[in-house]
Amino acid sequence: MLIGAAGLVCIIGTKLFHLSFDLTLVGEAIIVVSAFFWAGANIYTKKVGGAHHKIKMTMWQMLIGAVLLFIISFASEHAAIANLTVSTPSLLALLYNGILGSAVAFVGWKLGIE
């Protein structure tokens, strides 16, 4: 986890040393924090999740994450959501990324842990 965190800090680069605070730095810090949580969840899943059904566990993780992301995005991007127009290609891309790109990939990865 520490080596991965060091790699992410290298990605952030010179902003850490110049101490310039802007929204880009906040976004990059969120990426580093999310990597720690993702790694911790994976370690916890390996230790405790062996007795649980992998597909059900993944479904709950994806569902809870999606609800939380929706709440955060609705609260922070309310003006953008109010002016949102959804096209067929964007809706299909969202469904593809949500179902195949995330859920199926996570289930396959978790089944491969054992």
Write down the pLDDT at residue 19.
Answer: 60
Write down the pLDDT at residue 64.
Answer: 84
Write down the pLDDT at residue 23.
Answer: 72
Predicted confidence (pLDDT) per residue in 53-98, tens digit: 777 777 787 788 888 878 887 777 766 666 777 788 877 887 888 7
pLDDT at 17 over 70: no
Per-chain mean pLDDT for the chain:
75
CA–CA separation, 91 vs 104, rounded Å? 18
Residue type present at position 20: S
Tokens encoding 84:
């949102």
pLDDT at 113 over 60: no
User: Cα–chain-centroid distance for residue 34?
Assistant: 7
